[in-house]
Amino acid sequence: MTDHVLVINAGSSSLKYSLIDAKSGTAAASGLVERIGEDESRHVHHGPDGDAETTRPIADHEDALRGALDAFESHGPSLDGLELAAVGHRVVHGGSLFGAPALIDDKLIAAVTDLVPLAPLHNPANLEGIEVARRLFPDLPQVAVFDTAFHQTLPEHAYTYAVPLAWRDEHGVRRYGFHGTSHAFVSAEAARLLGREPAEVNVIVLHLGNGCSVSAVRGGQSVETSMGLTPLEGLVMGTRSGDLDPAVPAYLERELGLTATEVDKQLNSASGLKGLAGANDFREVTRRRDAGDPGAVLAFDVYCHRIRKYVGAYYAVLGTVDAIVFTAGVGEHSAVVRAAALSGLEQLGITVDDDLNSSSSTDARRISPDGSRVAVLVVPTNEEWQIAREALAVVRT
């Protein structure tokens, strides 16, 4: 058997897959099926011979995964001779039940189904991906890797909201945190870059992508994170507001007659950078800001101010900080965000070197001057590799 894991990330109308060598992290192939259920579904397969793209009606996730398997056969690499070790599934919400990846069986499926009210958009799609993969790979072990699991080490005082006992005890109202796979991968890579063991370092990880979250990681364990019961809380994101006064929905209900569900929808899909600048893609926000668009200037300032506020708060949570790490689309690519978000923090030992920060390298690297008290790092995230590693660890134990 090889160390290859097929990693599957099933969304409501999409299916992403990667064939990863869990030991080296090399992706032998990957692909994306989009607009599942529509007439013009699109499938792109990145194989050893380049990209193959098809457009056809793809009815459901089973049709999508069958299409992916066909693409492996026609464009490579063939899965037949490969002896996959496992299929690893990204599952968004593991609630308080899963602090680690787990082998998928009927009991796990029932537990993830019970958690659907906490992640009504994501968990059903993840379950669909699992059901389909179990049908198409009946002999392979399947492993669920939860986005919430890394944050299950949060202490009770960090995950508890100050709300009535019945909400907490009977309805699971607490902070869970998300992007855990990325925070786990990036915090471990940061330790490696510092030449130390994860257990020896305290790091603040800023995952700035379409979704944004920050975590405080002490000795390899997450002790605080910005996303909460759902991924809405915390930093300003592409289309999500992040933190706001919990009284806002009731105010909008009184003033505009909006229901809580309508407000929730707009806070998730019409807020954040989109609400402030009219665009959720950070490259577009940057273009508009450079052109002097006042909405985009404000969006940038609100975005960076929120990050700075969290860095200060998580510095206080950790007490000592060895590194601040930027990752994901914006964190890895926007030197201007990195510089702005950390400006004025020199008294905390946090400095960004302009030349190092503006280098166009895509490798994991340090962007703080030599000898500064807190290392500032850029570390590309690799959630697929982390899922593959965790899945392999489960099937090899």
Choice between 104 and 119, CB closer to ligand AMP: 119
* CA distance to 247, 248, 251, 266, 269, per residue, from 254 (Å): 11, 10, 5, 16, 21
| C-alpha–C-alpha distance, residues 114 and 22, integer Å | 30
Given 105, 139, 147, 264, which residue is catalytic? 147
| C-alpha–C-alpha distance, residues 380 and 278, integer Å | 27
Q: Which of 11, 209, 220, 228 binds ligand AMP (CB under 6 A)?
A: 209
Minimum CB separation of residue 238 from ligand AMP in Å reads 5
4-10 and 86-91 as β-strands: parallel, antiparallel, unpaired?
Answer: parallel
Q: Which of 77, 124, 172, 329 binds ligand AMP (CB under 6 A)?
A: 329
* CA distance to 16, 204, 291, per residue, from 386 (Å): 15, 19, 39
Binding mask 216-245 for ligand AMP (x = CB under 6 A): ----------------------x-------
| C-alpha–C-alpha distance, residues 45 and 232, integer Å | 32
Q: What is the CA radius of gyration of the chain?
A: 21
| C-alpha–C-alpha distance, residues 345 and 338, integer Å | 12
Residue nearest to ligand AMP (CB): 329
| C-alpha–C-alpha distance, residues 57 and 310, integer Å | 45
Stretch that binds ligand AMP, among 7-15, 139-147, 189-197, 327-335 (CB under 6 A): 327-335
Minimum CB separation of residue 236 from ligand AMP in Å reads 12
Task: Respond yes or no: is residue 147 known to be catalytic.
Answer: yes
Minimum CB separation of residue 298 from ligand AMP in Å reads 17
Per CB under 6 A, 175 contacts ligand AMP: no
Stretch that binds ligand AMP, among 77-85, 109-117, 275-283, 345-353 (CB under 6 A): 275-283
Cis check for the bond before 77: say yes or no (omega within 30 of 0).
yes
323-327 and 202-208 as β-strands: parallel, antiparallel, unpaired?
Answer: parallel
| C-alpha–C-alpha distance, residues 167 and 121, integer Å | 21
Rounded to 5 degrees, φ, ψ at 366 are -95, 140
Minimum CB separation of residue 136 from ligand AMP in Å reads 28
Number of residues that bind ligand AMP (CB under 6 A): 12
Q: Is 347 helix (H, G, I), strand (E, B) or coil?
A: helix
Query: For residues 87 and 8, is the Cβ–Cβ distance under 8 A?
Result: yes
Q: Which of 21, 264, 281, 353 binds ligand AMP (CB under 6 A)?
A: 281
Q: Which of 17, 98, 282, 326 binds ligand AMP (CB under 6 A)?
A: 282
Per CB under 6 A, 385 contacts ligand AMP: no
Per CB under 6 A, 334 contacts ligand AMP: yes
Residues marked active site are found at 147
Sites of contact with ligand AMP (CB under 6 A): 209-210, 238, 281-283, 286, 328-330, 333-334
